[in-house]
Structure 1
Amino acid sequence: MLVESAMTPSPITVCSSSTIFEAADIMLANRISGLPVVDDKGVLVGIITEGDFLRRHELDTNQRRSWLQSWLASPGKIADEYVRAHGRRVEEVMNTQVVAVGLKAPLSDAVRLMERHDIKRLPVISDGRLVGIISRSDLLRALMKIEKLPAPSTEDAQIQSAVEAELAKQSWSRNGFIRCQVRNGVAELVGTIFDERERRAAKVATENVPGVKAIADNLTWIDPYYGVALPPPVEEELASRS
């Protein structure tokens, strides 16, 4: 499953020039704990969360240090904390180091980023623009959506068997790392490849099987030298047959 099929599209956002009080009001009114920050062209420039409001001079919760801590801290760090505690515009307190995920990325990439950075939500971008947001609750909804899908039909099972049989004949796929799942005529290719040419070959083998309506490419390429896994190219995530 891809990020675009599970995300919340057109998320609530805030402008970098808005005040922190406007941002807080939006969060409270919509019962959300974070807001993507965009410029006037819809480009993602940051994110502001409840955590950015913890150290505020209005609440008398701004950072306090012992004389030793103050002496050890750099002037730049102290200045940055002052801005975050006293700044009144979103751009002054937001986090500009935003972790985001691509629209066509597999859900596994989104989950990996959430775990690695210990965050609950990810902005979804396409060509630099914010197009959605995916959160842990979206993953739960995606799970329930799968549960409600009809079971593969007899025809799907026949198509899947035919694809698997064709792959089994080929020397480049006999390692068993390329698998196929068919539902409602859509053949999803999953697994790992060690040469990008295997991706194209697998798709050609699949599209030539009668009954295949579309191909969802979720194959992951692993660099044989460095062992680094990369997602499929975004422009070829879904190839529909004419």
Structure 2
Amino acid sequence: MTARHHRLTEPLTPHRLLSLALGQSSMPDDGGRIALMPWRLRREAFGRSTPRGPHGQGRRPQHPLSGAVSSPLTVADVMTRDVVSVSTATPVSEIANVLAGKRISAVPVIGADGRLLGIVSEGDLIRRAEIGTERRRPWWRKVLTDVEAEAADYVRTHGRKAQHVMRPQVVTATEAMTLADAADIMEKRRLKRMPVVRGSHLVGIVSRSDLVKAVARHQAAVFADPPTDDAILRDLMDRVKAVTPSHPLINISVHRGNVDIAGVVDSAAEREAILVAAENTPGIRSIQDRLVLRPRSVS
């Protein structure tokens, strides 16, 4: 269920700030009074842990939410297994037809034994003599340019087979690699796809579109029993501590899955991060936003 939230405005008086610092609940009781939160919840809200005894005694026990926590997705969960590939002898014109016809941006080059030898991408085919896009250098640069590099460039622009245009240095992934690691590599290397290998043999390919499809297929975890208010509070407080250093000034209360968040933050982005953390906390039904921006001194 998607959490609903709305913003409530309230004057930020000195009394109000003191109430937040003391951990007072911002939800009035039936008599209109502001009730103090139990000390245990206030201590958790301020991030104070119970002193540990020998072997971790006295440590606050963890209470996982109902339902099993899913393990991180791996490349094997999303990769394309039926990979279009070519051999070293495949003509360049045929590779171009495959890329255009199947609307893919690259094809792996494999040997007769299934080993990955290289990859040919769209970028490897944009400088070609057939379409007049090969690099043209003035005669004086040809004299100063390394002869070996000049010869290799000629092979790439005029070669007729995959072995002439492929890149042998390929960034690869493994089936056990997490999607987080795969996304880091593709982002840092500016890659659109990575061949997936088992040893040196090609077993699949993972692309940015595969990660987008994983987002589209994602569904929130289904819980056998709704989380308790205490479990929701602990979970949300952990999330808030992870996104903002202002968590000691944030007061959170939970009642039947309805969350009230009050406190002071330094920026609108920080406030938005706290609300997003609440929206991603399982079990929350609605969110009351009482967060205010810290006044900035004017010199």
Alignment-derived partner of residue 89 in structure 2: 17
Matched, 1:152 2:223: yes
The residue matched to 1:78 in structure 2 has which SS? helix
Deviation of 1:152 (Å): 3.3
* Structure 1 Cα separation of the partners of residues 217 and 100 of structure 2: 28
The residue matched to 2:164 in structure 1 has which SS? helix
Bigger strand fraction: 1
- Equivalent residues in 2 for 1:81-230 (5 A)? 81-146=153-218, 148=219, 150-154=221-225
Q: Percent identity?
A: 36
CA displacement, residues 207-236 of structure 1 (integer Å, 9 cap, x when unaligned): xxxxxxxxxxxxxxxxxxxxxxxxxxxxxx
Over 6 Å off, 4+ runs: none
Alignment-derived partner of residue 151 in structure 2: 79
Deviation of 1:149 (Å): 5.2
CA displacement, residues 16-36 of structure 1 (integer Å, 9 cap, x when unaligned): 111111111111221112101
Normalising by structure 1, what TM-score?
Answer: 0.61
Alignment-derived partner of residue 38 in structure 1: 110
The residue matched to 2:107 in structure 1 has which SS? strand
Structure 2 residue corresponding to 1:61, chosen from 115, 133, 136: 133
Deviation of 1:50 (Å): 1.2
Deviation of 1:66 (Å): 2.3
Deviation of 1:11 (Å): 1.0
CA shift in 2, pair 1:104/1:95, >3 Å: same
Q: Which of the pair has the greater relative contact order for Cα pairs under 8 Å at 6+ separation?
A: 2
Structure 1 residue corresponding to 2:123, chosen from 27, 32, 51: 51
Structure with larger Rg? 2
Task: Provide the alpha-carbon RMSD of the alignment.
Answer: 2.2
Q: Which stretch shifts more, 63-72 or 133-142?
A: 63-72
How many positions carry a matched residue from both structures? Answer: 159
The residue matched to 1:35 in structure 2 has which SS? strand
Normalising by structure 2, what TM-score?
Answer: 0.50
The residue matched to 1:123 in structure 2 has which SS? strand
CA shift in 2, pair 1:86/1:114, >3 Å: same
The residue matched to 2:119 in structure 1 has which SS? strand
